[in-house]
Each structure stands twice: as C-alpha cells, then as structure tokens.
Structure 1
C-alpha cells in the first residue's frame, strides 16, 4: 500500500514538474527586467505581456509592423489627451494631464509592457510617463527601423490613413471626402457668390474672376484651355502648394473648376479633382448664404 502510494506521489510530482517546465516556454510571462531590443524581440513576442506599437495606424500599414503588437498611436491619440509635451521629448511629470487615460489603456501597474515606435523616442517618452505613475515593468524595445526579424508584416508603402479616392469626386459624393489630411479644397466663385448663395464647409475661396484671371491665367480661347494660358505658374504654385497634394475644385457649374484643373495639370499637378458646381450639391455640409449681402469694397 505504501509502495503504491509512493508511486502515485512520484507520478504527481513528475506531472507538476512537467507543467512547471512548460511555464518557462511560450506561455511564460516576462519579469520586466529583460533587456528587449529589436535584435532579440522575436524571442519574447509570444510571452505573456503587453506589446504596444506607438506609431500611427498609417505608419503601421504603410511601413509594416511586427505581428503581436497592438497599436496605441502616440500622435493620434495619447498626445493632447493623456500627455502634453512641455519640453520636446524630455519628460516631466507635468506632462501627464490625464493619468486615468493611461491607466485605462495600459492596465495593471504590475503587468509587463513592451513599447516600440519608429526609432524608440516615443517609446522612451511613454515609458518615463508610465514609470511616473507607478508602472514598474515597462520596457522600451526601440524602433521598427532596426527590426530584422521574421515577424514583420510588410506595409504597402503608400497607405496614408485615408479612404482611397474614386476616379471621380462629384457633388454627389464629395461629403465622403471632405476634411482629408493635407488636401486643398478650393471654391473658384466670386466673394459675393459665396456669401449670397452659400458654400460648402472646408472649401476656401480663391476667386477665378477676381484674382486668378489676368494674374495667373489669361484665357485665349474662352474656356478651352491651352498651356499658353498659364502666364504666372508661380502664383498657382503658391496658392495650391505641393504638386502631389490632393486638390478639390468647385465653382458654380463646374466650368471654372474644369479649366483650372487643366491649368494645374499642365504644370505638373497630379491629384486634381473637378467636383463640379454648387448648384448640384445636396449634401450635409452647406453653409447657407444671405441673399441680402452685397460686397462693398469701399
């Protein structure tokens, strides 16, 4: 009986030993004292810890990411909400303006948290912020630019965090494409037209007749554009900016917008859209005009 009991106890001890050894494998947690870098991160990525990428979502799908990391964007979420940098990337406790946001996102102060970003700068800053709140196991693993491991999901090299534009943007679908980062929205009507007839929010006024014509452009054949019509390309470039930015043009009917589109494309602009005329707009972003308004230039 004693011998049988001994055998059972030895079997249980062996089983416990196997389970214990198993915990040192893929499912074992980190202690927070490890020196984790982009050179050795693959050894730890399947351990029990929080792995957080502080880059923007666009960076993730453009430049790629390491499988196993979740995204908490520093610039697109943490900055201005939880943290305000008062001295560049030099952290001070005064930079933490909403600690509850950080605690909600990063969880228990006893959890191991592994941070990364583009170069390691954001990760180092957030590590200091979390340490100031009592987090004790935060690791800055560095920047993805130094990663050469096998867990990288490649980006497409072009994603900018915005909806892909269709071949045509018109008054019927313009509401879907307003407020795009870096885009230029231009209303080519006269000043009085804007305030009498109304306008679409986010479009700025660059009057064709009151400014562009005879300054930057001279129509030699009505609304039929020719390259000779561009007399001051520098004026157009000053107004519309970078030649690869998205430019959305509108006017009363679409005629001026079409003409200016041709002019911009003739000097190298590649993403210009003639949205058409406000008379066809039935969207939700119209600012109504005042029919009694008259422009007094005196």
Structure 2
C-alpha cells in the first residue's frame, strides 16, 4: 500500500510503501519509493496522532488503487516500457540522501535535546533532594537546639523554684525564731511585771540583813559608789536591795526574823549623813527602779554623827 511520509526537513510529503506489519513489536515498517534501502518504523499507537509523520495516500492515488488488477498491470507495463531518466533518478537519489541526512540530524538533535532535558530533570531532582536533605538537617538541628533551650529553661526555672522554696523556708524559720524570741521576751516581761509588786513589797517592808547590808556598804565605799554626798541612805539601801533582791526571798523562819531585827538595829545606828550616788552601770540597777534626785537637809554639825531615835525614817 502506498502512503505518504512527511519530511520535517524538506517540509513536504514523500511517497512510501508499507513493507511489513510487525504485530510482535506493534509497529509498521515502511520504505521510501526512491530508495528501498531506507525504511522507517511507526508504532501502532502513534498512527492515530496528528503529529504522526506517516500520512494516508493522496486522493488520486486512492482512485488509482481502487482500479482493477488489469489496469494496474497495464500501467505497470507502460511504465516499464519507458526508459527512465538517469539524471532524474540521480537527482531523486541525492534528494533522498539529503533528506535522510537532514532527518537523521534532526533526529539526533531531538534525541540530544531529549537527553539534555532528562539530564536537567535528573539534576533538578538531585538538587532538590540535596536541598531537602539540608533543610531536614537544619530543621533537626533547630529542633535539637530548641529542645535543649527548653530543657535549660526548665532546669533554671526548677532551680529558681528550689531557691525560692528554700528562701521561703529560711524566712519562715527566721520569722518563727523571731516570734519565739518575742514571745519569750514578752513572757519574761510579763513575769517581771508579775514579780514587780512582790519585789516592791519586799523592798518596802522587808529590810536587808545586817551582814548583807554591811558587806554591801563596805564594798560600795571601796568602789567609790557610796560617798559623803549624793543620795540619801534610803536610796543606797534600795540600791543594795536591788542587787540582792533574790536572796531576800530565801530568808525564812527564825533566821529571817533574827536578821530582820539585826537590820533594824543597824539602821538605828547608821549615820544620817551617809549618802551614795546612783551607779552609772545599767546592769547594777533594776529596770523598774527610777532614780529620784533628793537634796539632803544640811546638818548643824556635818562632822559629827548623831544617834537615830527608834521608829524614825532616814532622811525625813
């Protein structure tokens, strides 16, 4: 069957013949009429495409092919009877050779372009794969640093919480200790406040014993506490009592009565001009005692000591 082959290089249709239908390879093999050694193959699926180079026969050729066998034989005989033009045949052969060469060059160019396109696609795929690997690596490093930073922040926050808890515990302990000390001080003040009336009563109604008073007055003279001017004997007595008040509570029974009587006798025999000054040391005086400045009355004869009558009060 005669068909037409569209040459992309010559931009025209060239007559070809179907020489074989290869069903195993699913393709049609055609040869050019001008050179039967040159052949082309077209797959079956490509025949129905518009861009297929294998075209159908021309309208005149279809009518010629539709004639009977005798007419074809006659035309064949008539063609054989004519001597072919050598120059024309050579020209056609050269044209076919040029066509095949150009078509081969076009095919090679197309094949090279296809190979370049495939190579570029593969290179693009490799480049994208490398970029994706780099991006994944950077993302993993970022996630790792983020996780480490979060863990560090949690550790610092936990340490800060522990320090805060310890600080709060320490402050609570200090507050509890301070509160306990304040409560102890308050209890001590309350205890002193409760004991104060008894101490004042002892100072007011219970004189010191003779030996304690004598030793205290002698030590006061040696230390320079008791002098010839300053406070009255009553104040010196109260100063001495303030140092030995706890001992006065230990005197009980007959011994206390005897010492009380001896103290009264000592006060009767003590000179009225005996004076003392207030001690500057705060540890030697009680907190409840406040000094009162009393000017002594002038004696008619300061150098002499007069006996004190029974029941009299010193310095009055």
Provide TM-score, normalisation by structure 2.
0.24
Greater Rg by CA: 2
Choose between structure 1 and 2: higher helix proportion.
2
Provide TM-score, normalisation by structure 1.
0.25
Choose between structure 1 and 2: higher strand proportion.
1
Greater RCO (Cα-Cα under 8 Å, separation 6 or more): 1
